[in-house]
Chain A
Amino acid sequence: MSGTTQKYKNFVAEPMGEKSVTELAGIGETLGGRLTEAGFDKAYTVLGQYLVLKKDEELFKDWMKDVCHASSKQASDCYNCLNDWCEEFL
Chain B
Amino acid sequence: MADADNLDNLSNAELRAQMLAQGLPNIPVTDSSRKVLVKRLRASLGGNATLPAATASPKKTSTRRDTLQPAAAVAQVDKLDGIQAATKTRRTIAYTPNDTKEAERRRQPVNKPETVPEAVAAAKPVEAVATKAAPIQSRRISNSERREQIPERVIRKPETIAEEPTVPKKRNNENTLMVNSLIILESDEEEDEQLAQAARNAEDQYTHNKQAAQQLKLSATTINTHDYVPKSLYPNLQPTQEQQRPRQIYEQAPSTSQPRTTLGSSSISSSLDYRVSTGRYSSYVSPPAQSYITGASRAAAAVATAAPLGASGFQRSAPRTFSNEFSDDTAEEEEDATQGVRFESDFARNLARLRAERIGDRSTSYRRTVAGGSITGGRRSLRPEQNSSSAALMRWWQSLDHKYKVTSKLFILIVVLLLCGVYRFFY
**A interface residues (Cβ-Cβ under 8 A, vs B):** 38-40, 49, 52-59, 62-63, 66-67
Contacts and interface: CB of A to CB of B under 8 A. Distances in A.
Given A52-B27, A52-B28, A62-B39, A57 B33 contact: no
B32 A59 contact: no
B56 A53 contact: no
A52 B32 contact: yes
B15 to A, nearest CB: 14
Given A53-B33, A56-B61, A66-B36, 12 more contacts: A40-B32, A49-B32, A52-B28, A52-B32, A53-B36, A55-B61, A57-B61, A58-B56, A58-B60, A63-B33, A63-B36, A67-B32
A interface: dominant SS: helix
Nearest to A67: B32
Contacts of A38: 32
Contacts of B157: none
15 contacts: A38-B32, A52-B30, A52-B32, A53-B33, A53-B36, A54-B25, A54-B27, A56-B58, A57-B61, A58-B60, A59-B40, A62-B39, A63-B32, A63-B36, A67-B32
Interface string B294-315: 0000000000000000000000
Contact of B57 (A39, A52, A56, A66): A56
A63 B34 CA distance: 9
Nearest to B28: A52
Nearest to A51: B28
Interface residues of B, number: 16
B28 A56 contact: no
A58 B33 CA distance: 12
A55 B57 CA distance: 11
A28 to B, nearest CB: 21
B234 to A, nearest CB: 82
A39 B30 CA distance: 13
Interface of B: 25, 27-28, 30, 32-33, 35-37, 39-40, 56-58, 60-61
Contact of B27 (A40, A57, A59): A59
Residues of B contacting A: mostly: helix
A54 B35 CA distance: 15
A49 B30 CA distance: 9
Contacts of B37: 59
B57 A57 contact: yes
Contacts of A39: 32
A49 B35 CA distance: 12
B20 to A, nearest CB: 14
A53 B36 CA distance: 9
Given A54-B27, A56-B25, A56-B27, A49 B60 contact: no
B27 A53 contact: yes
A66 B35 contact: yes
Contact of A52 (B33, B35, B56): B33
The 9 closest A-B pairs by CB, nearest first: A58-B57, A63-B36, A62-B36, A66-B35, A52-B33, A59-B36, A54-B27, A52-B28, A56-B57
Name which of A38, A39, A63 has the most chain B CB atoms within 10 A of its CB. A63
A78 to B, nearest CB: 14
Contacts of B61: 54-57
A70 to B, nearest CB: 13
Which of B35, B36, B57: most chain A Cβ within 10 A?
A: B36
Contacts of A52: 27-28, 30, 32-33
A55 B61 CA distance: 8
A80 B56 CA distance: 19
Most chain-B Cβ atoms within 10 A of its Cβ — which of A39, A52, A57?
A: A52
Contacts of A56: 25, 27, 57-58, 61
A57 B28 CA distance: 16
Contacts of A40: 32
A46 to B, nearest CB: 10
A57 B64 CA distance: 11
A89 to B, nearest CB: 16
A63 B35 contact: yes
A56 B19 CA distance: 15
Nearest to A62: B36
B35 A59 contact: no
A56 B39 CA distance: 14
A40 B32 CA distance: 10
B293 to A, nearest CB: 69
Contacts of A63: 32-33, 35-36
A58 B43 CA distance: 13
Contacts of B30: 52
Nearest to B35: A66
A2 to B, nearest CB: 16
B226 to A, nearest CB: 67
A37 B60 CA distance: 31
